[in-house]
């Protein structure tokens, strides 16, 4: 599908002349269009920025690229591009899902959700749409970029090494790493506790989105898309409802359909109410929309990982940090360790499940070159209770010291209880000193948002 640039019906007044968006990219300020058309347009803007050495603003989620990161970046970029602030760096905000395109296939919840917004995997903008990391700095000059972070507040990895000084705003619900000043000008600096980052994005964009929904007209070019409607107002309501379903899915998943009392905040409940109102105001969707069925569909898809290889399961929801020269990696898995063991045994065609799954974890650690590797699992017990398990594996002397410190310092806060008699053991593997321990994490309200800072503190 070749990109189609969408002309605006109106332009914003008092906007500066933006030399970075003059050739081939037209401002979308106050235009209305479908999410599908917007993403096609935004993807073409990357090529234009590269070819013509132009400015570009990216909105990017964290490296685990879970549902919350994906929907946060799209929702913010979509609304912000329709109504950019005055004196903005660029009028167009490009949402980036922080994984290669191949990673989308590892996220069945994406595949289940995208049709609700009338988009397909190829419409998402991924790392594959950016230049290769070995040449990206010369293709997209740092001074020509600004980056808005959602669902994290420190740009990591190779992108962080090149563009961290160009971060202009952040909306996040993780612990503040204090990387940016309090004053971010016209861009947001929102770091608050919430079950879902998408809730905070919805809250921040609400006023602008309401103004758009109430006064903006539909782009004529958008009617050339497959979602053409004869009534522009009805089209805008449909497009709003489709975007609202994206955002709603993340909030429901992150709060267990607003049933997780340890996670829910007022930001989440108000965002759900607001997004549902967008859906219910659309006649095409309201009649058949049922929140519980919608949640179960996306939740079931998220847990449907049986068809994935174990190495893919470990990297599906994976985050990594560098802490004082040491590398920490944490994989979150939506099935218990028993599942991981059986999966490894089946793939290795062996009855020695413990040996097989440890070998798979060791392989993942080696591929990522980690000093400290952690696996966090979530599952439901036979009695229907939500439960967590935590595995910590240290591979260097410094990491072993950090792991032991974490085990002592975090035991009470996390409610750590030995798993199936697993003790903290120091052992040699091919001459390499290691330490490994597995626990039940009884204080299940603490997700990776809390476990990661505790591990990093122990490493510092």
Q: Domain residue spans in the chain?
A: 19-298, 310-459
Helix (H) or strand (E) holding 374: strand 372-380
pTM above 0.85, yes or no: no
CATH class of 310-459: alpha beta
Per-residue pLDDT of 362-391, as tens digits, reads: 999 999 999 999 999 999 988 888 999 999
Give dist(CA 45, CA 81) in Å, integer: 12
Predicted confidence at residue 432, as pLDDT, reads 66
Per-residue pLDDT of 242-287, as tens digits, reads: 999 999 999 999 999 999 888 999 999 999 999 999 999 999 999 9
Q: How confident is the model at residue 228 (pLDDT cuts 50, 70, 90)?
A: very low
Residue 178, class by beta-carbon neighbours within 10 Å (0-12 exposed, 13-18 middle, 19+ buried)?
Answer: exposed
Per-residue pLDDT of 51-76, as tens digits, reads: 999 999 999 999 999 999 999 999 99
CATH of domain 19-298: 3.90.1640.10
* Average pLDDT over every residue of 189-201: 97
Instruction: At 438, give phi and psi (nearest 5°).
Output: -125, 140
Per-residue pLDDT at 430 exceeds 70: no
Predicted confidence at residue 221, as pLDDT, reads 35
Predicted confidence at residue 19, as pLDDT, reads 33
Both tokens assigned to 88:
């903005």
Helix (H) or strand (E) holding 249: helix 232-254
Give dist(CA 273, CA 291) in Å, integer: 11
Per-residue pLDDT at 353 exceeds 90: no
Per-residue pLDDT at 30 exceeds 50: no
- Which letter does DSSP use for residue 257 in this model? T
**Which residues sit opposite 438 in a β-bridge?**
391
């Amino acid at each position: 599908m070749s990109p189609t640039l969408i002309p605006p019906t109106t332009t914003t007044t008092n906007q500066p002349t933006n030399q970075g968006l003059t050739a081939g990219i037209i401002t979308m300020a106050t235009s209305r269009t479908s999410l599908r058309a917007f993403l096609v347009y935004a993807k073409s803007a990357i090529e234009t920025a590269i070819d013509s050495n132009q400015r570009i603003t990216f909105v990017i989620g964290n490296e685990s690229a879970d549902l919350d990161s994906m929907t946060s970046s799209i929702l913010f970029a979509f609304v912000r591009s329709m109504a950019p602030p005055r004196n903005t760096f660029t009028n167009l905000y490009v949402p980036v899902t922080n994984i290669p395109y191949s990673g989308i296939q590892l996220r069945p919840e994406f595949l289940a959700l995208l049709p609700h917004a009338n988009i397909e995997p190829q419409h998402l903008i991924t790392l594959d749409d950016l230049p290769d990391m070995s040449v990206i700095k010369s293709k997209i000059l740092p001074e020509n970029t600004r980056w808005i972070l959602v669902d994290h507040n420190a740009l990591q990895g190779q992108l962080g090494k090149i563009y961290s000084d160009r971060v202009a705003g952040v909306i996040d619900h993780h612990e503040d790493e204090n990387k940016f000043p309090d004053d971010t000008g016209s861009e947001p600096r929102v770091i608050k506790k919430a079950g879902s980052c998408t809730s905070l994005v919805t809250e921040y964009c609400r006023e602008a989105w309401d103004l758009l929904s109430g006064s903006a007209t539909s782009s004529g070019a958008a009617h050339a898309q497959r979602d053409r409607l004869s009534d522009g107002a009805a089209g805008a309501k449909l497009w709003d409802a489709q975007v609202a379903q994206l955002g709603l899915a993340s909030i429901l998943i992150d709060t267990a359909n607003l049933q997780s009392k340890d996670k829910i905040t007022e930001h989440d409940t108000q965002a759900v109410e607001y997004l549902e109102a967008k859906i219910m105001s659309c006649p095409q969707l309201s009649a058949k929309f049922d929140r519980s069925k919608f949640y179960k569909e996306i939740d079931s898809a998220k847990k449907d990982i049986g068809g994935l290889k174990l190495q893919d399961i470990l990297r599906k929801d994976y985050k990594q940090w560098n802490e004082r020269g040491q590398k920490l990696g944490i994989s979150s898995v939506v099935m218990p360790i028993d599942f991981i063991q059986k999966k490894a045994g089946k793939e290795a065609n062996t009855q020695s499940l413990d040996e097989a799954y440890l070998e798979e974890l060791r392989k993942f650690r080696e591929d990522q070159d980690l000093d400290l590797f952690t696996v966090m699992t979530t599952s439901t017990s036979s009695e229907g209770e939500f439960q967590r398990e935590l595995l910590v594996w240290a591979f260097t002397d410094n990491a072993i010291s950090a792991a032991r410190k974490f085990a002592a310092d975090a035991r009470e806060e996390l409610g750590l209880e030995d798993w199936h008699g697993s003790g903290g053991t120091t052992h040699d593997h091919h001459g390499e000193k290691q330490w490994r321990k597995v626990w039940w994490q009884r204080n299940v309200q603490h997700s990776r948002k809390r476990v990661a800072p505790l591990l990093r503190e122990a490493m510092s």
